[in-house]
Amino acid sequence: MDNKRAGSMTALAVVLLALATLPGWAQTAYRAPRMADGHPNLNGIWQTLNTANWDLRGHAAAMGRVVALGSEDAMPPGLGVIVDGDEIPYLPAAEAKRKQNYENRLKDDPEVKCYLPGVPRATYMPYPFQIVQSTKTIMFSYEYAGGVRVINMDKPTKSPADSWMGWSNGHWEGDTLVIDVTGFNEDTWFDRVGDYHSDSLHVVERYTPRSAETLTYEATIEDPKVFSRPWKISMPLYRHVEKNAQLLEFKCVEFVEELLYGPLRKHPRNDNP
């Protein structure tokens, strides 16, 4: 290779590097396959590969909550998914409540009871979910507890009442599916360490194609009763590429009946005090 050619290649590499470090470049550079309506095709079975469900913040590995489960219940380590600092901006009273949640997490985490996970927790639970996308309607079906959301892509409508999975209105901003979620009840948590919200929760989710097999997921979380300012999480979603990939049933209700109703049995089980 002569010097001139090597020099021009170095220059090209420098330009490419500079482009790659510009904010958002990686996202806008990828052009996702289109649906007939011109919008990106987000159909597929997706899942995160992180430990946000254990703790949104960065955390070292830690002992689990149930001694008998040993390392199966240990908390896997994670770098955290919160954007711009590793902090959730709780108001002082809310921080106290979060600590209380943490102390009582084995009893109070709605996941333990197989309750619907809410948003954004449904996205980063360690189970897959499927996006079924057409023009007017996008359905999100979650394996965990059979959770489901229907995203209204028409004129935005108002939540008729509070619910576990919230009320979702969606629209496209370029290649990004933006979902505005309101109408939550106050009964879901964000993770297993007691991070929580009130019924004033407002979540804005952004799903952006970043490669054929990955999406970027961002959620801005706002709740003036609990947080002093909006905060944001971000993580990639990975496509299940297995040939026969499909959601299976995870109807966990039957697995928590002993936990919830065991003491009400005619003959309570001795092995489960």
Partner 1 sequence: MRQHPFRTLVCAAMGCAVIFLLSAPAIGQTPGSVTKTAAAAKVSENKAWTAPHLPDGTPDLQGVWSNATNIPLEKPRQAAPARPGAYTNRQANGDLVLHYDNAQFGLDRSRNVVAEDTREYLVTTPDGHIPALVPEAQKRIAERAAFTRDHQWDGPETRPLGEQCIMWPNEGPPMLSEGYNSNLQIAQGPGYVAIMQEMIHDVRIIPTDGRPHIASDIRQWFGNSTGHWEGNTLVVDTTNFTDKVAFQRASENLHVIERITRVADDKIQYEFTVEDPHTWAEPWGAKIFWEKESTPIYEYACHEGNYGMRNNLSARRAMERKAEEAAKKEAK
The 3-class SS string of 189-201 reads ECCCCCCECCCCC
Residue number, 87 or 257, with CB nearest to partner 1? 257
Write down the least CB distance from residue 241 to partner 1, Å. Answer: 14
Q: CB-based contacts of 64: which residues, under 8 Å, 6+ apart?
A: 70, 71, 72, 73, 74, 75
Write down the least CB distance from residue 66 to partner 1, Å. Answer: 21
Distances (CA, A) of 129 to 96, 100, 246: 33, 31, 9
Residue number, 5 or 267, with CB nearest to partner 1? 267
Write down the least CB distance from residue 36 to partner 1, Å. Answer: 3
Residue number, 31 or 266, with CB nearest to partner 1? 266
Residue number, 115 or 124, with CB nearest to partner 1? 115
Write down the least CB distance from residue 141 to partner 1, Å. Answer: 5
In 10 A of CB 109, how many CB atoms?
20
The contact set with partner 1 (CB under 8 A) reads 35-37, 41, 43, 114-116, 130-134, 136-139, 141, 145-148, 150, 152, 157, 160-161, 163-165, 187, 244, 246-249, 251, 253-254, 257-258, 260-262, 264-267
Q: Where are the beta strands (DSSP E) in the chain?
A: 44-47, 129-133, 137-142, 148-152, 167-173, 176-182, 202-211, 214-222, 231-239
